[in-house]
A and B are shown apart, each in its own frame.
Chain A
Amino acid sequence: MTKPIIEVKNLAKSFGKNDVLKDITEQVNPGQVIVVIGPSGGGKSTFLRCLNLLETPNSGEVDFDGQNLTTLDTKKVNELREQMGMVFQGFNLFPNMTVLENIKLAPMKVKGMDDAAATKRAHELLDQVNLDDHADAFPSNLSGGQAQRVAIARALAMDPKVMLFDEPTSALDPEMVGEVLNVMQELANQGMTMVVVTHEMGFAKSVADRVWFMADGYIQENNTPDEFFSNPQTDRAKDFLSKILM
């Protein structure tokens, strides 16, 4: 039996009186693609951000590669974060740097990679997301789809073991959604472990190994995509699906 790469145990997180995550216990195995879906405000982003400790959980554990992140010191957490790439809804590219510099920054400053090696690696990654001709562009000159692909390349530059995606296509014009999903699908095909928050049901159906349905601070259902979409168990999920599949 494979050892899970991420194990979440009794995770809880609240903002003041707002209990966003109540009690979550799940695990992600290496190479798995998990799609997290659920109503807006249900805590999906918060959950994802707890995985790499951008948010500090109130209680419970997040184990990554066998280490409990919540007990580690800041330096160790920084090191483990390198291994969890994150892609945001709003891209969050560094606007004052070129595409190439965006990708090179962390490998050089965190891993101490030299400029030549980082540049070479950046070009490879840009090639992978079909954007090598935009290496010297500034983010403001990219379309949303291009920017998000650069953001993916930037996260990949740290050679992460896991990629976290928080609604990567929600801010895109419809005609650009495809190009980003294609890149993600390729990544999944290469065996990358991924946790993806998305409303793209097509992507969930064709790429996900498991679908987690999240609402009211709990993972309400954990199922295969086929089962989940054809035969949801909870009323909460049925209600949700009926609304978005109209």
Chain B
Amino acid sequence: MKKKLILLLALVLTVVTGFTALSSTTANAATDNSLTKVEKKGTLVMGTSPDYPPYEFQATVHGKSKIVGMDVAVGKKIAKDMGVKLVVKSMSFDSLLVALQTGKVDMVISGMNPTPARKKNVDFTHTYYQGGYSIVINKSDKGIYKDKDSFVGKTIGAQTGSTMYNESKKQTSGTTVKGMTSVSDLILALQSHKIQGVAMEKPSAQAYVANNKELAAIPSKFDLSASDTSASVAFAKGSDALVAKANKSVDQIKNQNLVNKDYLPAAGKYLKTNTVNTSMLHYWKAFLTGIEYTLIITVCSVFFGFIMGVILALARMGQGGVVRTGLRWLATAYVEFIRGTPMMVQVMFVYFGLGLIVNLPALTSGIIAISLNSGAYVAEYIRGGINSVDDGQTEAARSLGMSSGATMRFVVLPQALKNIWPSLGNEFITLIKDSSIVSIIGVSELIFQSNIVRSDTYRGVAPIAVIMVLYFVLTFTASRILNYFERRMQHD
């Protein structure tokens, strides 16, 4: 699953890079004014993957969920020194660099190591923090594992796309390395003994151990270059002015030892207050937000998907004339293409790919992608529904002088819709579930919120159980409502 995600991302990146290459003249022109641009808009958008305490994580502050951690403090300082406001955008770690390259964010601060491979695609500032690696294990195993070499025949986990992941693969032999997108998933896997250790940066390991009595940390003994253990701020390739300005802030942070002196202790405080109350009830607001977004996405997508479906179905059924034949061909190609590609790729393509042309927010992108997807499926239902209406209905309407458009609208479509109402209802319920896919671009729907709660509480299973129940309540209620309307339409 995770491998697939990486493949997909590679695909999207390739497409996106293709676009970037096409528009490289504009990119170069932007080089010089990268700083001016940020100053002009007055905000500096920071991308981060907030499941990596104490670097960055979600905390409940004054009843509101908020991204905190030492990286946010670093971002704040950089923004403040530029005289602009910091905006924090969260997304999965794998998506961060794509987001940077496509201009979704101005910079990435996410405990990211400035490796040579990454340097090819983005520009890094100086190091603001020099860390090291630990391996988190179950406390009960403390006698068994000493360092990275004790895991022969066992499995250790690391965050997909992270340096730890690559180094764990390179520097162990006879050990299976399992990648997962989020550290909280890895911890869950560890606690359920699917894996025996989790490689992560030292401060993170310390945070997890401090907050979970069943965990322990051991030294990793990885042989690492400085670039592998240091964290830097990433900017888009060629934004020299921004990097130079940010370097001034970073140097100050380093010289004054701000991370160890101020930022880490401050982050630690959030961690403490954060884990006092880990009951799921305490997080009802987070779940409510999730439900809200899940419903917004579903309802909007069903609405627009339906309109698209009608248009596509009519286009597919058009007959005669060059224009109609062309439209029919286009609609058929569209439906086949959408049904033949994964929704996940479509979501990423809309967000990152179309994002190069118009900068769409994640929620809008998600709704667009899912509507486009749903439209293709709905089109097929509607086509079937229209074909199921007796030809005599059309003839009767036409013989009364109604135009083909009016006949379709007032006579055929209402009957077609009645016939396909159950299929449309299924589509709605499917979308409630499938809308979860937009969590990968950081839309705070149910899955996304549950991930936040999981990394917040260090509890792996409870949030999953909660959203399972919530999803069921949503789909069950929806199917009851749909049934009610279906019965009401049965008067003939």
Contact = CB atoms under 8 A, between A and B. Distances in A.
Interface of A: 52, 54, 74-75, 78-79, 81-86, 88, 90, 92-96, 105-106, 109-110, 138-140, 151, 154-155, 158, 164
A151 B415 CA distance: 18
Contact of A110 (B390, B406, B414): B406
A139 to B, nearest CB: 6
Contact of A81 (B393, B401, B415, B491): B401
B400 A154 contact: yes
Nearest to A82: B401
Interface string B377-409: 000000000000010110111111111101000
Nearest to A86: B399
A110 B492 contact: no
Nearest to B404: A74
Contacts of B401: 78-79, 81-83, 106, 110, 158
B395 A92 contact: yes
Given A88-B392, A92-B396, A95-B492, A106 B402 contact: yes
Given A54-B399, A88-B395, A138-B492, A109 B406 contact: yes
Contact of A155 (B400, B410, B411): B400
A106 B492 contact: no
A54 B400 contact: no
Given A54-B398, A81-B398, A154-B400, A96 B410 contact: no
B399 A52 contact: yes
A86 B392 CA distance: 12
B418 interface: yes
A96 B492 contact: yes
A219 B159 CA distance: 85
Contacts of A83: 401
A54 B394 CA distance: 10
Given A90-B392, A96-B414, A110-B400, A139 B492 contact: yes
Nearest to A98: B491
Contacts of A78: 398, 401-403
Nearest to A151: B396
Given A138-B492, A139-B492, A140-B492, A82 B395 contact: no
B395 A54 contact: yes
Given A54-B398, A155-B399, 9 more contacts: A78-B398, A78-B403, A92-B395, A94-B393, A96-B492, A106-B401, A106-B402, A110-B402, A154-B400
Which among B403, B404, B414, B418 has the highest number of chain A CB atoms within 10 Å? Answer: B403
Contacts of B390: 92
A29 B349 CA distance: 67
* Interface residues of chain B: helix, strand, loop or mixed (majority): helix
Contact of A158 (B395, B400, B410, B489): B400
B400 A106 contact: yes
Contacts of B395: 54, 86, 88, 92
Contacts of B400: 81-82, 85, 105-106, 110, 154-155, 158
Interface in B454-492: 489, 491-492
A54 B397 CA distance: 11
Nearest to A105: B410
Closest 9 CB pairs of A and B: A82-B401, A92-B396, A86-B399, A106-B400, A92-B392, A140-B492, A95-B492, A81-B401, A110-B401
Contacts of A79: 401
A96 B415 contact: yes
A67 B390 CA distance: 31
A96 to B, nearest CB: 5
Interface string B419-458: 0000000000000000000000000000000000000000
Interface in B270-325: none
Nearest to B395: A54
Contacts of A54: 395, 398-399
Contacts of B404: 74
Contacts of B491: 96, 138, 140
30 contacts: A54-B399, A74-B404, A78-B398, A78-B402, A78-B403, A81-B398, A81-B399, A81-B400, A83-B401, A85-B399, A86-B399, A88-B396, A90-B392, A92-B393, A94-B397, A94-B415, A96-B414, A96-B418, A96-B489, A106-B397, A106-B400, A106-B401, A106-B402, A110-B400, A110-B406, A138-B491, A154-B396, A155-B400, A158-B400, A158-B401
B415 A95 contact: yes
